[in-house]
Amino acid sequence: MEKYIINGGSRLTGELSISGAKNAVLPILAATVIGGNKSTITNIPNLRDVQIMKEILLTLGCTVEYDGSTMIVDSKPLNQIVVPEELVREMRSSIILMGAMLSRTGEVILSYPGGCEIGPRPIDLHLKAIRDMGAEIEESHGHLHCKVTRLKGAEIQLDYPSVGATENIILAGVKAEGTTIIRNAAREPEIIDLQNYLNKAGAKVSGAGTSVIVIEGVDEFRDVNHSIISDRIVAGTIMTAAAITGGDIIINNIVIDHVLSIIAKLREAGVIIYTNGNSMKVMGPRKINSIEMLQTLPYPGFPTDMQAQMMTLLTVASGTSIISETVFENRFKHAEELARMGANIKTFGKVAVIKGVKELTGAKTTAKDLRGGAALVLAGLIARGTTEVYDIYHIERGYENLHLILQKLGADITKVN
Ligand SMILES: CC(=O)N[C@H]1[C@@H](OP(=O)(O)OP(=O)(O)OC[C@H]2O[C@@H](n3ccc(=O)[nH]c3=O)[C@H](O)[C@@H]2O)O[C@H](CO)[C@@H](O)[C@@H]1O
Ligand SMILES: C=C(OP(=O)(O)O)C(=O)O
């Protein structure tokens, strides 16, 4: 079992470039099955979830070449409709294959998706929309058997702007008969990236980034080259690392517009941030201010995927902060682990009250999910003594060599077996 060992106390300084976004690349890789075409995708982060998606594509019969950064997928030879359960259960994004495979073959068998344990993650919005587009979905023993002769465009009003459901409907709509309209669509930047990839391949999708997305079905896809947008959550995590260590870091290859809500909350905490084009300089303050209220919301609100990292920052703020997690039911598992390190956090359902303490102390901790694990690493960077973070496979789902990035910036962190 691999773990991180961190000796706290180093101030992080230096410069780095942000890699491609996990939440953009996964739906785009799922989309590659649709066209029977060749997709050359660049700026791909080398993550566990990407490896799993690659395995799924291979199992479906696609040919895949991947060098850790560029993936070439040829979906012409696709000849399977069963997505293996052991792969689907590894990650949430596998559900996006439902819309993509129905577009391609009109049939798919997959199980309920896995992913981080951050509360129940129903797929009712996905299923209702895909059924509204004409598919029959049989649910039995945890499996979904979806079938349709040809998907039909539909007007879909989402009860909640779900990222995954929005993506699934787009993928189901691109080759459907007629036009699909999604209202109350999720507006995340990763959905714009998906639209851009699809349109390069010949699809007709418009409106991504707004709450109304229109998809006109087309018959043919062509070969496509696409570069993945940079990861706003990895950027936010590094910004928080600079902030908490009183560091001074220049971050390149970052879309500033995508991190405005993170910049606003870090500035409220006293962090100094200068932006310039696609770069920013982040300087941690001597004293971190508490934040009266940090509420997670769908984009462009503050991202739930940055909540855990911000909680770590607030554990050493001067004063009391409140975090309200509105997106997921149970996303405070890191609070207990931070408490082992001396943090003073009380949780009441989806609200956490964090009373800043003078210092954290090193402890043995366990990553319970991806971002919660990153939050423990951040805590380890400033804790007195040594912190061990176990179950780092969660962290590796979404961060490419986090320990190496932090080492380069001056952190004393090692990955050991
Ligand atoms: C691979 C990927 O892109 N993952 C991101 C995506 O996850 P994901 O697409 O799973 O997140 P959703 O936006 O769908 O989920 C948001 C909320 O809606 C609920 N819901 C969702 C679908 C549904 O059918 N029914 C339902 O009730 C969920 O339980 C959750 O409470 O967006 C989340 C919210 O920004 C991020 O934290 C994840 O990192
Ligand atoms: C929750 C996350 O991912 P997923 O939806 O892939 O589980 C995340 O990226 O923080």
124 in a labelled binding site? yes
215 in a labelled binding site? no
Flag whether the ipTM exceeds 0.90.
Answer: yes
The more confident residue out of 23 and 91 is 23
Strands (E), 69-151: 71-74, 107-111, 136-140, 143-147
Q: How large a percentage of the chain has pLDDT more than 70?
A: 100
Q: Does the annotation count 62 as an active-site position? A: no
First-to-last C-alpha distance (Å) of the chain: 6
Mean of pLDDT values over 96-112: 95
Residue 117 predicted with pLDDT over 80: no
Residue 383 predicted with pLDDT over 80: yes
Q: What is the CA radius of gyration of the chain?
A: 21
| Nearest ligand 1 atom to alpha carbon 305 | 37
Class of residue 390 by CB neighbours under 10 A (exposed 0-12, middle 13-18, buried 19+) = middle
Q: What is the domain partition of the chain in residue ranges?
A: 3-18+230-416, 22-227
Looking at residue 92, what is its pLDDT? 83
193 in a labelled binding site? no
Residue 230 predicted with pLDDT over 80: yes
305 in a labelled binding site? yes
Cβ–ligand 2 contact at 92 (below 6 Å): yes
Q: What is the reported pTM?
A: 0.97
Residue 115 predicted with pLDDT over 70: no
Q: Are 26 and 45 in contact (CB under 8 A)?
A: no
Residue-averaged pLDDT of the chain = 96
Catalytic residue among 44, 52, 64, 116: 116
| Nearest ligand 2 atom to alpha carbon 304 | 10
Cβ–ligand 2 contact at 167 (below 6 Å): no
pLDDT-based confidence at residue 357 (cuts at 50, 70, 90):
very high
Instruction: Give the CATH H-level superfamily of domain 3-18+230-416.
Output: Enolpyruvate transferase domain (3.65.10.10)
Distance from the alpha carbon of residue 130 to the mean position of ligand 2, in angstroms: 22
Q: What is the DSSP letter of 406?
A: H
User: Considering only CA atoms, which residue is closest to atom 31 of ligand 1?
Assistant: 328
Instruction: Give CA separation, 286 vs 177, 248, 306, 308, in Å.
Output: 59, 12, 22, 22
At 256-295, the pLDDT tens digits run 999 999 999 999 999 999 999 999 999 999 999 999 999 9
pLDDT-based confidence at residue 162 (cuts at 50, 70, 90):
very high
**What tokens appear for 417 in the block?**
């077996």
Cβ–ligand 2 contact at 208 (below 6 Å): no
- C-alpha torsion angle, residues 371, 373, 375, 380 (rounded to 10): -160
Distance from the alpha carbon of residue 115 to the mean position of ligand 2, in angstroms: 7
Q: Are 400 and 47 in contact (CB under 8 A)?
A: yes
Ligand 1-lining residues (CB < 6 angstroms)? 23, 26, 92-93, 121-126, 160, 162-165, 186, 304-305, 327-328
Q: Does 22-227 match 3-18+230-416 at the fold level?
A: yes
Domain 22-227 = CATH 3.40.50.720:
no
Ligand 2 pocket test: which of 19, 22, 311 has the largest number of ligand atoms within 8 Å of its C-beta?
22
